[in-house]
């Protein structure tokens, strides 16, 4: 090898290993440094940004430290630092000029600290800032110009503070913002124009606040929004068409509010919606036109309402539904016959814990893909003949805790894929009418998951007998015309069946 060439190799070697050596040399105590330029420091001994950081540090993470103040000079000499994270450190004060020393910062995370106020325009020197996290602090008021000039900001997290009424121009100019989290504050009111600059916003979190109303037009400029979470507020009414400009919305959560009604066509113009939650609202009724065309909707949650019934077409446009959780509506009595007409992909239908006493014979006639049907904890007194016939793929049916006394013997015979059926908690009447279904249960005992607990409640002499213990020959008398001789006195032994007359065989009274 030529000496000159060998020299070059040495130079390259030194060039690449030097930073590594210097880094190891200068890594401050309490910190970990890696040769790529990231430094992490933890512990009470850290009270300020260490003066001697490896020269090429671009990422500095301080967590669980004693750095309560960012001083005017804290960030001096950190020309290459791009990402600063100072968390869980009881930070309460930032010097008004602190960020003048590091205008190149792209990310500042000050989460989980004690900040209750911020100096005027303290972040304004950070013209290329992309990420600002101030979540889990004690911020109550933010000056309207707090974020002025942060034109490159993409991600702003203000969640878990004490904000009550953000100024209408607080977010003006944040035209590149894609994520905004205002969740877990105490916001009562949002001005109608507060989001008007945020045309690039993809995700907006306003959950867990105290909003009582949404202003007309408040979301109209958010044409790129994919996720809007407004659950856990106090919203009692929606302005008409408040979501109509959100043509790219995929997720909308409105659960746990105080909605008693929603305006006509509230969920029109959302062709890409895939998840909608409305549960835990005291809804009394739904309008005849509510859901626009939404072929991609996969999940819909409508439980914990005060609905007594719903319009027959409420799910008609939700043709993509995979899971429909329409349960725990303790006043829901009635379902229209064609309610589930148009759900060609539905896999799970939960109607448990409603207050249904009758079902229309055609209710399930169009649900060939449903695998799970939950009807437990209702008031069902019977099931119409053939009601389950359309459920060709059903694997599991739960009928626990209803008021069923008997069922037609062929109720489940078309459900050839059935693997789990629950029938306990019903007052089965073990008289003649139960004969056929009792025989089916015995023949299909592995399918009836709770067969041990499927008990007779009547007649009295059968009380608490297992339905599976009923023998076929015990029903022989049923083929005869029977006459009941009513008890004439209190002394009649109710543990014995009534006497029956077998007319066919012309026998006389036959005590059993
Ligand atoms: C930061 O510190 C807090 C408390 O000191 C701790 O709970 C948390 O796990 C730490 N986070 C990281 C990423 O180390
Ligand atoms: C906004 O984002 C676009 C593309 O993401 C970028 O080209 C532009 O420079 C950004 N604007 C500012 C002011 O940073
Ligand atoms: C279904 O959606 C279409 C288009 O959005 C709309 O015209 C129609 O009225 C909707 N149907 C119902 C029952 O709301
Ligand atoms: C909804 O029902 C609950 C009881 O289930 C009741 O306390 C509440 O007042 C009802 N709300 C409305 C708006 O009717
Ligand atoms: C359930 O329906 C029955 C009548 O079928 C009614 O008496 C009862 O009050 C209803 N329960 C609720 C919580 O509304």
Supply the residue whose CA is at minimum distance from atom 3 of ligand 4.
306
Considering the four listed CATH numbers 3.30.70.890, 3.90.550.10, 3.40.50.300, 3.80.10.10, the one that applies to the domain covering 356-470 is 3.80.10.10
Task: Give yes or no for residue 508 having a pLDDT over 50.
Answer: no
Task: Give yes or no for residue 473 having a pLDDT over 90.
Answer: no
Supply the residue whose CA is at minimum distance from atom 10 of ligand 3.
292
* Ligand nearest to the Cα of 88, by number: 1
Q: What gap in Å lies between CA 452 and CA 424, rounded to an integer? A: 8
Contact status, residue 318 vs residue 297, Cβ threshold 8 Å: yes
pLDDT band at 77, cuts 50/70/90? confident
- Please give the residue that has the higher pLDDT: either 9 or 310: 310
State mean pLDDT over 357-372: 95
Backbone angles phi, psi at 228, to 5 degrees: -130, 115
Alpha helices, DSSP H, located in 230-380: none
| 214-228, 380-394, 434-448, 486-500: least confident range | 486-500
Beta bridge partners of 350: 325, 374
pLDDT band at 35, cuts 50/70/90? confident
**Is the peptide bond preceding residue 512 cis, with omega within 30 degrees of 0?**
no
Q: What gap in Å lies between CA 319 and CA 345, rounded to an integer? A: 7
Which pTM does this prediction carry? Answer: 0.85
In ligand 4, which atom is closest to the CA atom of 260? Answer: 13
Q: How far is the CA of 303 from the centre of ligand 4 (A)?
A: 13
Task: Give yes or no for residue 494 having a pLDDT over 50.
Answer: no
63 lines ligand 1 (CB under 6 A): yes
In ligand 5, which atom is closest to the CA atom of 330? Answer: 13
Contact status, residue 282 vs residue 260, Cβ threshold 8 Å: yes
What pLDDT sits at residue 53?
86
Q: How far is the CA of 323 from the centre of ligand 4 (A)?
A: 26
State mean pLDDT over 485-505: 45
pLDDT band at 10, cuts 50/70/90? low
Q: Is residue 6 left, alpha or beta, with left meaning phi > 0 and alpha meaning psi from -120 to 50? A: alpha
Which residue among 247, 264, 266, 268 is best mutated to probe the pocket of ligand 3, counting the most ligand atoms within 8 A of its Cβ?
A: 268
* Ligand nearest to the Cα of 176, by number: 2
- Proportion of the chain above pLDDT 90, given as a percent: 81
pLDDT band at 3, cuts 50/70/90? low
Q: How far is the CA of 291 from the centre of ligand 3 (A)?
A: 6
What pLDDT sits at residue 56?
87
In ligand 1, which atom is closest to the CA atom of 64? Answer: 5
State mean pLDDT over 425-440: 93
In ligand 3, which atom is closest to the CA atom of 271? Answer: 5
236 lines ligand 1 (CB under 6 A): no
Q: Which residues contact 489 (CB under 8 A, 6 or more apart)?
A: none
Nearest to 449 by CA among 474, 419, 493: 419
User: And the tokens for 452?
Assistant: 């041990």
Which residue among 32, 41, 64, 86 is best mutated to probe the pocket of ligand 1, counting the most ligand atoms within 8 A of its Cβ?
A: 64
- Please give the residue that has the higher pLDDT: either 92 or 12: 92
pLDDT band at 187, cuts 50/70/90? very high
Task: Give yes or no for residue 272 having a pLDDT over 90.
Answer: yes
The CA dihedral of 214, 216, 221, 224, to the nearest 10 degrees, is: 50
Residue matched to tokens 């814990």: 353
State mean pLDDT over 249-273: 96
Q: What gap in Å lies between CA 293 and CA 317, rounded to an integer? A: 5
Query: How much is the mean pLDDT over the chain?
Result: 89
Q: How far is the CA of 154 from the centre of ligand 3 (A)?
A: 36
Supply the residue whose CA is at minimum distance from atom 6 of ligand 3.
292
pLDDT band at 5, cuts 50/70/90? low
Helix or strand (DSSP H, E) at 41: strand 38-43
| 3-17, 142-156, 289-303: least confident range | 3-17
Q: How far is the CA of 172 from the centre of ligand 2 (A)?
A: 15
| 85-94, 110-119, 281-290, 457-466: least confident range | 457-466
- The 10 Å Cβ neighbour count of residue 512 is 10
State mean pLDDT over 394-404: 97
For 405-427, the pLDDT digits (tens) are 999 999 999 999 999 999 999 99
What pLDDT sits at residue 286?
96
Q: Could you tell me whether strands 31-33 and 38-43 are parallel, antiparallel, or unpaired per DSSP bridges?
A: antiparallel
Task: Give yes or no for residue 492 having a pLDDT over 50.
Answer: no
What pLDDT sits at residue 9?
52
pLDDT band at 498, cuts 50/70/90? very low
The domain limits of the chain are 356-470, 483-512
Q: Which residues contact 223 (CB under 8 A, 6 or more apart)?
A: 199, 245, 246, 247, 248
Which residue among 306, 307, 328, 355 is best mutated to probe the pocket of ligand 4, counting the most ligand atoms within 8 A of its Cβ?
A: 306
Contact status, residue 166 vs residue 156, Cβ threshold 8 Å: no
pLDDT band at 8, cuts 50/70/90? low
pLDDT band at 482, cuts 50/70/90? low
For 89-127, the pLDDT digits (tens) are 999 999 999 999 999 999 999 999 999 999 999 999 999
- The 10 Å Cβ neighbour count of residue 460 is 12
pLDDT band at 23, cuts 50/70/90? very low
pLDDT band at 501, cuts 50/70/90? very low
What pLDDT sits at residue 299?
87
Q: How far is the CA of 446 from the centre of ligand 4 (A)?
A: 42
What pLDDT sits at residue 19?
45
**Sequence-ordered strand ranges (E) for 363-453:** 372-374, 396-398, 420-422, 428-429
Task: Give yes or no for residue 40 having a pLDDT over 80.
Answer: yes
In ligand 1, which atom is closest to the CA atom of 63? Answer: 1
Kindly list the protein residues whose Cβ atom lies closer than 6 A to any atom of ligand 4: 260, 282, 284, 306, 330
Supply the residue whose CA is at minimum distance from atom 14 of ligand 3.
289
Of all residues in the chain, what percent are helix, strand and coil, respectively (each to 5)? 10, 15, 75
Backbone angles phi, psi at 174, to 5 degrees: -85, 60
What pLDDT sits at residue 78?
87
Checking 163-167 for CB contacts under 8 A at 24+ apart, the result is 163/139, 163/187, 164/140, 164/188, 165/189, 166/142, 166/190, 166/191, 166/194, 167/142, 167/143, 167/191, 167/194
User: Residue 271 half-sphere exposure, CB side, CA atoms within 13 Å?
Assistant: 2
For 310-321, the pLDDT digits (tens) are 999 999 999 999
Supply the residue whose CA is at minimum distance from atom 4 of ligand 1.
64
Supply the residue whose CA is at minimum distance from atom 3 of ligand 2.
176
State mean pLDDT over 358-373: 95
Q: How far is the CA of 423 from the centre of ligand 5 (A)?
A: 22
pLDDT band at 481, cuts 50/70/90? low
What pLDDT sits at residue 7?
56
Q: How far is the CA of 60 from the centre of ligand 3 (A)?
A: 53
């Amino acid at each position: 090898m030529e000496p000159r060439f060998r020299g070059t190799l040495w130079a390259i070697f030194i060039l690449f290993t030097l930073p590594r050596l210097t880094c190891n040399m200068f890594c401050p105590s309490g910190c970990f440094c890696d040769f790529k330029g990231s430094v992490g420091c933890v512990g009470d001994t850290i009270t300020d940004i260490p003066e001697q950081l490896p020269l090429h540090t671009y990422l500095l993470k301080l967590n669980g430290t004693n750095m309560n103040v960012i001083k005017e000079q804290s960030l001096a000499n950190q020309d290459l630092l791009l990402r600063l994270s100072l968390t869980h450190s009881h930070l309460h004060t930032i010097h008004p000029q602190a960020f003048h020393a590091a205008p190149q910062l792209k990310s500042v995370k000050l989460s989980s600290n004690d900040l209750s106020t911020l100096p005027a325009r303290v972040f304004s020197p950070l013209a290329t800032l992309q990420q600002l996290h101030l979540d889990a602090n004690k911020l109550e008021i933010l000056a309207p110009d707090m974020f002025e000039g942060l034109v490159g900001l993409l991600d702003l997290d203000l969640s878990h503070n004490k904000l009550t009424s953000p100024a209408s121009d607080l977010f003006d100019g944040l035209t590149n913002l894609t994520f905004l989290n205002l969740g877990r504050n105490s916001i009562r009111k949002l001005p109608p124009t507060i989001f008007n600059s945020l045309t690039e916003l993809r995700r907006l979190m306003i959950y867990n606040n105290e909003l009582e109303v949404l202003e007309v037009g408040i979301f109209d400029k958010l044409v790129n929004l994919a996720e809007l979470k407004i659950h856990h507020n106090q919203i009692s009414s929606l302005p008409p068409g408040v979501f109509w400009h959100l043509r790219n919305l995929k997720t909308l959560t409105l659960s746990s509010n105080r909605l008693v009604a929603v305006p006509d066509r509230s969920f029109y113009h959302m062709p890409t919606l895939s998840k909608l939650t409305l549960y835990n609202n005291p809804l009394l009724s739904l309008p005849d036109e509510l859901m626009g065309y939404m072929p991609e909707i996969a999940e819909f949650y409508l439980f914990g309402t005060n609905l007594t019934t719903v319009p027959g077409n409420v799910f008609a446009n939700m043709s993509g539904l995979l899971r429909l959780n329409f349960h725990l509506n303790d006043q829901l009595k009635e379902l229209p016959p064609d309610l589930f007409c148009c759900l060609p992909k539905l896999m799970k239908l939960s109607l448990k814990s409603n207050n249904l006493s009758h079902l229309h014979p055609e209710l399930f006639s169009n649900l060939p893909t449903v695998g799970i049907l939950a009807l437990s904890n209702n008031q069902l007194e019977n099931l119409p003949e053939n009601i389950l016939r359309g459920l060709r793929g059903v694997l599991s049916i739960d009928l626990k805790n209803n008021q069923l006394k008997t069922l037609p013997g062929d109720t489940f015979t078309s459900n050839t894929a059935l693997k789990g059926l629950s029938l306990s908690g019903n007052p089965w009447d073990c008289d003649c009418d139960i004969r056929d279904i009792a025989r089916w249960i015995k023949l299909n005992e592995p399918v009836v998951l709770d067969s041990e607990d499927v008990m007779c409640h009547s007649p009295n002499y059968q009380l608490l007998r297992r339905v599976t213990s009923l023998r076929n020959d015990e029903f022989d008398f049923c083929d005869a015309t029977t006459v009941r001789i009513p008890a004439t006195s209190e002394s009649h032994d109710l543990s014995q069946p009534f006497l029956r007359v077998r007319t066919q065989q012309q026998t006389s009274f036959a005590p059993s």
